[in-house]
Structure 1
Amino acid sequence: MSTVTIPLGPTEVRCPICLDVFDWDETDLFTFRDGAYVPLDLSGVGDPVKRNDEMIGAYRRCPNPSADMAERHYLPISYASYGPPLVIGFIGRTESGKSHLLAAIVSEIERGGLGPLGFTAVPVDEEAHRAYWRQYVASLVDEGRAIEHTARVQSDAMVTFTDALVVSDGRRQRAVAFFDVAGDDLVARTRSMRFVLALDALIFVVDPEYALRQNAPSDGDATFETVMARLRAQPGLTDRLPVALAVSKSDLYRFEQPAARWYRRPSLSAYLDGRAEPTEIRDESRDAYAFLYARGARAWLRPFETFRRATLHFVSATGSKAVTDDRGDTFDKVFPRGVRPRRVLDPLAAIFAMSGLLGEDAAKEVGT
C-alpha cells in the first residue's frame, strides 16, 4: 500500500462513536505522541509539501456537539478528508466467522485484490492498520491460527472501527471503515451499540454450521434481529442501506450444489474493469437464497427480505475448518493446511456497487 496526499475540504460527517454530525475541517487537529493526543498547530506552516507531511498521522477531535459523552474521541484525518466515509458493519453471532471474514478481506486487499474493480487502497491510520494486521491478519493468514472471539465491550464504552482504508480508482478517493464487534454485544441494546445507526452498509454473516443444523433456532440469528430492529426504528434506513449476506464457511459445502458452482469461480468474477455484471450477481443471490431456504434456514434470510437493496454470496475466509492444536501447553485452533480465502471480496464489491463507488449503472442495478 502506498501513501496519499491529504486534501482537506469542508464536509459534513456523522461521528461513528457519538453519532453527532459536525463539519469536517482543519480545526481541532491532534497528533498521537507518547500515549496521548497532543494539539497539532499548523497555523505557521504555509508550504503545501510541509503541510501535507505534517498532516500524515494527524487526528481530528470530534466536537461532540450534543455533549453527551464525557470522554473525548478522535478520528484519523483521512477518515472524512475525501467526503463522508463508507462505514460498513459486520453482523452475526459469535463464531459465525465475522472476524475471520474481515481479516481475509483486508489480507486480499493488501495483496491487490481490488484490482478488478479498478481500485487501490491505503490505510486511513497507518499505525492502527499495522496493529490490526499484526494481531489478526498475520496470525490468521501467515501463521494459520484461528482468531479468538472478539472481546466484549462495556455497555457505555466507546466503540470505533476495527480498520479503515482509503480506496481510489485514480479519479476519486473515499475512506471505507469496517466495524466488527462481538456477537454477544450486538444482541444487547446498549449505548455502546449505537454505532449501528452510523453504518452506511451492512454485511450479515450467515454461519451455515449453525443455521443448517437440525436443532437450529427457528427465529434465526438474534444479532440479525436486534440490529434490524434498531434500523427499522429509523425512517428510511431499510430503503437506503445496502446489504450483503455472506454465507460463510462455504468450503464445508464445496462438493454440494449450488455452493460448489460458486465456490469454484474466481473471486470478483462478476466484475470487469470496475464494472458490475448484475446478471451474475443476481444468479449467485438466487442460488444462495435457495440454498438456505431449502435447508430450513429461512429465518437467516430476513435481512434480504427487509432491506430494499441486498445480495447474497458464498464465501470462505479460510478454505478449511480449524482443528485443535494440543501440542505443548496451548490448545489453539489452527488451520494445518494453511488459510486459503475464497470469494471474500465479493460481498464488499457488491456493497461498493450498491453504494455508487462503481458508477451510477451499478448503483441502480445491483441488489435489486
Structure 2
Amino acid sequence: MMNPYAEEELSFLTHKGERLRFGARFGPDREVPGRPARLARRVTLGVDWTVLQYRIPASATGDPDTHGALEREAAAAVALERRYGPERYGEVFTRVVGYDLEAPEPFVLYRVADGEPVGAHAGTLGVEEQHQVVAQLVLAVRLLEAAGLVHRAIGPDTVRWDGRHVRLSEPYAATRAGERRVPFGAAPWASPEQRDGIGAADPRDDLWSVAQLGYFLLAGRPDRGAGPPADLADFRLLAALDHGGAFAPLASGRRAPTELMRLLNVPDPLALTVGGGDDDGPARGHTDYDGQMARKRADILPQRPLREAPPQPPPARRVGWLRGRGSGTPALPEVPDTGTQGPGGLGTAFAPALPPYLVPSDADPDPERLCPHCLLPVVYDMTRLVTIDHKGDRIPLDLSTVHNPAHLADLERKAFQLCPHADGDQLHELPVPYLTHGRPLSIALVGSSGVGKTHLLAAMLGEVEQGALKQYGLTCLPLNPDTHRTFLRERVQSLQQGRQLAQTGQQTFARFADGLLVTGRGDTRPVVFFDLAGEDLAQDGEVTRFLMGVDAFIFVLDPLRALRLPALDPVREMNGLRRRDLGDEAFTTVLNRIPRRGPYVAAPAAIAVNKSDLVRVEPAVDRWLGGAMPPEYRPAAVHEESRDVHTFVAQHASAAWLKPFDDCARCTLHFVAATGGQARGDHFPHGVRPRRVLAPLLSIFAMCGLLPGVEPGEVGI
C-alpha cells in the first residue's frame, strides 16, 4: 500500500484543456463495485484540496475495453462540465476536476460529492424531499439528453442526497444517445431494453431508472423491474411518473424528459437559453461548410428542375479525367440526367447526375491500362512474366506449357509482369492480377512526414484482413499473396503488437505499398495503396510524377501541427513539433500537381483527421470517435460527420488546413485514430486501439463506385 503521506507531482488536463501540476498525497486504493479494473482513492492536491481519483492500474492498461471505457467517461464528464459547469443547476452532476488518459496509469479526477447514497433513505424521506429527489433527477436526465448522453447507471447507490440536492455519480457508464445498446445494469434499476442490449440507447432509459428509484424511496423496497409496480396506485406522489409512462417497459412508451418535467411542475432551464452553452456542439458552426458545398454544386452540377428518375438510366461512363488525357483544361461538359437519388440531408428527392469525369464506372472496354508507377500503357503479356524470390531476384516464368486452368490461375495469382517501359535504373513490375481484373483503383495517402500515414494504412489493412469490410458487401483478396504477407508481417503485425512503425523512407521511384482485389459493386477491381515519405510528397520532383495518375486521395491531417488547442501543447513539446498556420506543405504540393477539370480536382478525396484520440474529449470529436462504425454505409451520416469535422478544424486551425476540401470536387472528412494513443519511445504503452480507420476508405470506395447499395453521386457533394 502506498504511503498516504508521501507527496508526488500529479499532472492533468482540466475540462478547458489547460495543463495543471500539483504536489499530491494519495490515500489508499479501494475497488469500486460495478467498475471492473478500476481503482478509486482520495488525493490531496496542494495544501488541502481533496479530490477523488478513478484510475486504471498498470496491470490493466493494455486492455482496450477498459481504456475505452475511461475515455468515454472522461469525454462525458468534460462535455457536462463545459456545458453546465457555470450553471447553478449543473450541481446535479458530480463535477470533473481533470484527467490524463496518457498517464502510465490513466485517470479521471472529480470533486468529492456531498451527501450519502439515497439507498440509505428508502421509506424515510418526507413528501417534499421525495418530490425534490424525483424532480431533480428528471432535470438531470433532461440535461443529459440535451448533451446527447444517456447515464445508464442511475440507482440507489449512484445517486447522493444532501438534504437539498441530488448528485448523480460520475458518468462511468454514459453512452451517446442513439448508440447501439450494450447490455448493462440489473433489475429493477436498468430498463429491460438496456439490460438485454436491444436497440439504441435512449434518454428515456434513464427515466425508467428515475421511476424505479422513486418507487423505491416511497415503498421502501425495490420493484421487480418488469413494468409498472402492482401497487403503483397506492403512491399518489408517483402519479406524474405513471401518467408520463416512466414505468413503461419500452422506451417508446415513455414521454420525453421535458414532458415529464411539465407533469412534475418543474421549470426547464434550457428553455430560456439558446444552444445550451455548448460552443463546440456539432449543431453549431456549419454555415461555412453548407455554403461551400452549395457553391461546389453550383459549379459542377446542372441547374435545372429535378424530375423523377427514368426507369432505365443511361449506362455509367468511364472516368476519363486522366485516362482520356488531353491538353488544356476542358470546360464542364453537358450532363445527362440519370435521376440519381440525392444525398441525405440535402433536401432533394433526386440529385442531378454528376459530370462524366466524376462518374465512376467498372466498365473497362479497353484492356489497356496504365502502369501506376510510370503512367504508360501496359497490356497483359505472358512472355514477360517473372516470379520474385526471397532475395528480390526476378526469375522468368514460362506458362506456355501449363494447360490446367486451375494451375494456371494459381501461378498467375503469384506472378508479376515486367513493365515494358522500365529502364535499367528503374526496373519495376506489376502483379498479374492487376492486369487481368477490372479497372484498377489507385489510392495515395498524402501528408508530411510524421503525420501517421503509415500507421493509418497499416491499421486500415489490419481491419480489412480481419474481415471488417464484409458487412459492407465487399470481399478482399491480396493482389499478390507474397507482398501482402510481407506488408502484414512488417507493418500490420508490428503495429498490432504495440510497436511504433519506422517512418517511410524516401524513394527515387514511387511504388505502391500493398494491393487488394476488391469485389463489391460490379467486377473485381485491383486496389493499390501508395504511401510515400512526406519529404517526397512535399517536393515537386520526379518521384511524385505518379500523382498524375492516382484515382483517389486520403489527406492525413495531424492535429499536433494544425489545431490551436492548449491541451496539445505538451504533446507538441514532447515530440518537438510546432503548429503551422500555412497548412501541410505536402497537401499544397500534391494539390498543385493533380490534374483538374475546371476549378476542381476531379479525383475523389477524403480528409482523415488522424490522432483524433489526442482531442478525444472534445464533444464534436467524441460524437464520432466514441461510437462504433455503423453496420452499413450511410451517406447522410457521412455528410453529418464531414460537417462536424470541417467545423471543428475551421474553429481551431487556419483555413490552409482545409485546402483539400476547397480544391477537390468531391471530398468527405473523418475523425480517425490509427493507434488510439501516444507512443513512448518505440512502443505504445497502452496498446494499439484503431478507431474508425475504415471510414475514409469506405468513402473513397463509395465515390469510386465500389460500394454495393450506394450511388456514387450520393457521397462527397
The TM tier, using the shorter chain, reads: 0.7 to 0.9
Q: Which residue is equivalent to 2:298?
A: none
Q: 1:51 is paired with a residue of what secondary structure?
A: helix
Deviation at 1:217, TM superposition (A): 2.5
**Contact in 2 for aligned 1:10/1:23 (Cα 8 Å):** no
Deviation at 1:208, TM superposition (A): 0.6
**Contact in 2 for aligned 1:316/1:341 (Cα 8 Å):** yes
CA deviations on 1:309-328 (whole Å, 9 max, x unpaired) are: 1000000011111123xxxx
Q: 1:258 is paired with a residue of what secondary structure?
A: helix
Q: Which residue is equivalent to 2:374?
A: 18
**Contact in 2 for aligned 1:124/1:164 (Cα 8 Å):** yes
- 1:107-122 paired onto structure 2 within 5 Å: 107-122=462-477
**Contact in 2 for aligned 1:231/1:238 (Cα 8 Å):** no
Greater displacement, 334-343 / 12-21: 12-21
Deviation at 1:138, TM superposition (A): 1.0
Distance 1:125 1:98 in 2: 22
Distance 1:137 1:53 in 2: 25
Distance 2:412 2:611 in 1: 41
Q: Which residue is equivalent to 1:186?
A: 537
- 1:113-132 paired onto structure 2 within 5 Å: 113-132=468-487
- 1:287-326 paired onto structure 2 within 5 Å: 287-324=644-681
Structure 1 vs Structure 2: percent identity of aligned residues?
42
- 1:180-329 paired onto structure 2 within 5 Å: 180-213=531-564, 216-232=579-595, 235=597, 238-267=600-629, 269=630, 272=632, 276-324=633-681
Equivalent in 65, 73, 79 of residue 434 of structure 2: 79
Greater displacement, 174-183 / 26-35: 26-35
Q: 1:104 is paired with a residue of what secondary structure?
A: helix
2:519 alignment partner AA: S
CA deviations on 1:238-296 (whole Å, 9 max, x unpaired) are: 442000000011111221120010011212x2x52xxx322111000000000000012
Equivalent in 496, 500, 503 of residue 149 of structure 1: 503
Distance 1:209 1:197 in 2: 29
Q: Which residue is equivalent to 2:444?
A: 89
Q: 2:594 is paired with a residue of what secondary structure?
A: helix
Distance 2:702 2:599 in 1: 18
* 2:717 is the counterpart of 1:363: no
Equivalent in 136, 139, 144 of residue 491 of structure 2: 136
Q: Which consecutive residues of structure 1, in runs of 5 or more, have no partner in the other structure?
A: 1-8, 325-331
Deviation at 1:116, TM superposition (A): 2.1
Q: 2:492 is paired with a residue of what secondary structure?
A: helix
Deviation at 1:80, TM superposition (A): 2.9
- 1:161-172 paired onto structure 2 within 5 Å: 161-169=512-520, 172=523
Q: 2:445 is paired with a residue of what secondary structure?
A: strand
1:266 alignment partner AA: A
Distance 1:218 1:203 in 2: 21
Counterparts in 2 of 1:235 and 1:349: CA distance versus 1, 3 Å: same
* 2:458 is the counterpart of 1:103: yes
Deviation at 1:36, TM superposition (A): 2.0
CA deviations on 1:78-112 (whole Å, 9 max, x unpaired) are: 12321221100000011111111001001000111
Q: 1:24 is paired with a residue of what secondary structure?
A: coil
1:31 alignment partner AA: T
Q: Which residue is equivalent to 1:328?
A: none
Distance 1:186 1:170 in 2: 32
Distance 2:424 2:604 in 1: 29
Distance 1:21 1:229 in 2: 24
Q: What is the RMSD of the two structures over their aligned residues, measured on CA atoms?
A: 2.1
**TM-score calculated relative to the size of structure 2:** 0.46
Deviation at 1:237, TM superposition (A): 9.8
Distance 1:112 1:361 in 2: 20
Counterparts in 2 of 1:104 and 1:151: CA distance versus 1, 3 Å: same
More relative contact order, 1 or 2 (CA 8 Å, 6+ apart): 1
1:176 alignment partner AA: V
Distance 2:701 2:713 in 1: 12
Q: Aligned pair count?
A: 340
2:439 alignment partner AA: P
Deviation at 1:212, TM superposition (A): 1.0
